[in-house]
Amino acid sequence: MSAHVRILLPDGSAREMPRGATAGDVARAIGPGLAKAALAARIDGALIDLERPIERDVALELVTAKDEAAALALVRHDYAHVLAEAVQTLYPGTQITFGPVTEDGFYYDFAPAPGRGPFTEADLPAIEAAMRAIIAADKPLRREVWDRAALIAKWQAEGEHFKAEWAASLPEGEEISVYWSGDDWMDMCRGPHLPSTGRLDPEAFKLTRVSGAYWRGDPTKPQLSRIYGTGWLNKKQLEAHLHRLEEAAKRDHRKLGRELGLFHLQEEAHGSVFWHPKGYVIYRVLEDYMRRAIRAAGYAEIKTPQLMDARQWEQSGHWGKYRENMFVIPDEVPNTADEGPVITGEGGWMALKPMNCPAHVLVFRQGIKSWRDLPLRLYENGCCHRNEAHGALHGLLRVRQFTQDDAHIFCREDQVVDEVRAFCALADRVYRDFGFRYAIKLALRPQARFGSDADWDRAEGELRDAVVAAGLATPDHGFEELPGEGAFYAPKLEWHLTDAIGRTWQVGTIQSDRVLPERLDAFYVGEDGERHRPVMLHRAIFGAYERFIGILIEEYAGRFPMWLAPVQVVVATIVSDADGWAREVAARLERAGLRVETDMRNEKINLKVREHSLLKVPAMLVVGRREAEAGTVVVRRLGEEKQETLLLDAVVAALAAEATPPDLKRAA
């Protein structure tokens, strides 16, 4: 065996290093700057600690803060361990369990010492201070492999019963590693970790909240205290994140929905929205907008049943793949007597549709379709139900009943790329009308799927070609491919919108499906007189109206653009002598197509201005005796201090133009 190993670097160069050398040794051999910047390494693609010995020839890539995703995962993992060490230092007798990385930070679950009681947010400042002391100590983080029995015995001897149980549950033969922080604290962990605690920025983390949690997520097991934190590479990133959280709290659609009188939710209808008049105005404006868009793009609108026989869902494949998310209903008349079961269980099953696609195939199958009939574009504002867990529901963003701007395009093989390219152009216009930037992702085949590899190859290639043809397969449009993220029946393109505070939302999609037409026996007669399967393109732009409205509320912070605002103008009087003029002004505005309210209460005008500003009405027209005599109005804009007095005709024309939806402006 050679005393050296060959290290292949990303630039194609290679280095000979002594067998047992580490990635840290390689970094130091290259130069002090890289040695200081390196956080971890990838060996043949697998992330490892810098100080793990290398015993064979490998391809090595050193990970620095420039690889932000990997770097953030590393530091957040380390912050979680430092949190656990800090808690046990401050509160002896606390048992540790485990602490994973989250989307923007980390958490750790603890079993407080007997008699101490659960941790509270009042404990967080002291814990943060202890964490900073551990970071300042720059304690080396050292990996060791332990024998299972010896580690279980150690945990049991130290009263770490949760860790002992966890170690005992790991598969036989699996290597069990621990990480030491210095020589006085350790935790069981697969790693990797930074070289030392001092590589963390002590000003780049914050503990955020405390909650209860059950051991292993099982309500029958002991309750633990979960401490959450957010962790970043530097203080600037932390401050930006905290600012986003503040902005997100201000923009929370649930809060604004209540304040603006748009909608409410209540437990009598878990996950279903009660739309109030103003909220439903927004809903209807979006419906009208989308109907104009799909008519112009050559779609025909249809309506399909809510309730379909389970046999249809079995044939489509949803019954086997998706049944846990469906509301199923016995197909029998319930017993109305006081005694006996409500249902006998002898009837068949039906289900509320969780999606519209099988019903659209049934519409397509009515009558013989010719190759000349394709593409056939069927659109539905389709109401669907999905049996989401109560704990997963979240305002408008995660509901059980929702309506999709759903459409299916049935087309020939030679039409797929053009149809997807046309959809890309349509989606681009829609998202720009709402002020969104977006990135396009191509979600590729999952491991569990229907269909042949040849069909998946063809479908993925068509979507890829369409994005290229649309000119969107560029870094400017954030194009990337996501292995394993496709649906079980089709690959898909996803549109990820970026909102005003930098958050991303996956909204639109188009999927190229050859599976469902086969399963539901959809066909057309080709030019050759033979039966052929159409390709079925599943597509949506808003996704669900409920979720899209929730996103819009947060995007605009409740200050909708004039064309979307539920109330576009309020006409408010200063004195009762102007009531007649206020009514005339409102009537003129309504005839111009504006949504108007009047406020003729016997209240001071400053109070009226304040109240309607809180309701985020885009424009107020204030009228008094002088304005009534002159045929003018005083125009006040939301968020602006200045006001101006103008003739009513000019104001009506200007506001009507501003309230025109963007698609109608383009068509004018």
DSSP β-ladder status, 569-573 and 95-96: unpaired
Given a contact cutoff of 8 angstroms between Cβ atoms, the answer to whether 141 and 200 are in contact is no
Question: How many Å apart are CA 420 and CA 510, to the nearest integer?
Answer: 8
Question: How many Å apart are CA 558 and CA 561, to the nearest integer?
Answer: 9
The helix (run of H) or strand (run of E) holding residue 387 is: none
Given a contact cutoff of 8 angstroms between Cβ atoms, the answer to whether 662 and 656 are in contact is no
Helix 545-556 with 235-251: angle, nearest 10 deg:
120
Helix 416-433 with 453-469: angle, nearest 10 deg:
50
Given a contact cutoff of 8 angstroms between Cβ atoms, the answer to whether 570 and 554 are in contact is no
CA nearest 347: which of 328, 329, 332?
332
Q: Where are the beta strands (DSSP E) in 545-655?
A: 569-573, 596-599, 619-623, 632-637, 643-647
Extract the tokens encoding 221: 């097991």
Q: Is 406 a catalytic residue?
A: yes
Extract the tokens encoding 307: 């309730």
Catalytic position from the list 76, 464, 492, 608:
492
Catalytic position from the list 42, 199, 353, 408:
408
Q: Is 477 a catalytic residue?
A: no
Catalytic position from the list 88, 95, 312, 404:
404
Given a contact cutoff of 8 angstroms between Cβ atoms, the answer to whether 230 and 199 are in contact is no
Q: Is 492 a catalytic residue?
A: yes
DSSP β-ladder status, 619-623 and 492-498: unpaired
Residue 449 CA from chain centroid, whole number: 23
Catalytic position from the list 357, 383, 411, 424:
357
Extract the tokens encoding 229: 């934190």
CA torsion, ordered 473, 474, 477, 478, to nearest 10 deg: 100
Question: How many Å apart are CA 517 and CA 398, to the nearest integer?
Answer: 29
Q: Which residues are registered as beta bridge partners of 214?
A: 223
Question: How many Å apart are CA 276 and CA 572, to the nearest integer?
Answer: 23
Extract the tokens encoding 401: 């009943």
Q: How many CA atoms lie within 13 A of 220 on its CB side?
A: 0
CA torsion, ordered 127, 131, 134, 139, to nearest 10 deg: 130
Catalytic position from the list 25, 406, 499, 513:
406
Cis peptide before 192 (omega within 30 of 0): yes
CA nearest 483: which of 539, 441, 440?
441
CA nearest 393: which of 275, 270, 505?
270
Question: How many Å apart are CA 296 and CA 293, to the nearest integer?
Answer: 5
Task: Name residue, tokens 């030679």.
Answer: 414
Residues 6 or more apart from 528 whose CB is under 8 A from it? Answer: none
Residue 524 one-letter amino acid: Y
Question: How many Å apart are CA 291 and CA 304, to the nearest integer?
Answer: 17
Catalytic position from the list 226, 377, 538, 616:
538
Q: What angle do CA 312, 313, 314 make, to 5 degrees?
A: 90
Give the residue numbers annotated as catalytic, written as ranges: 357, 386, 404, 406, 408, 492, 538
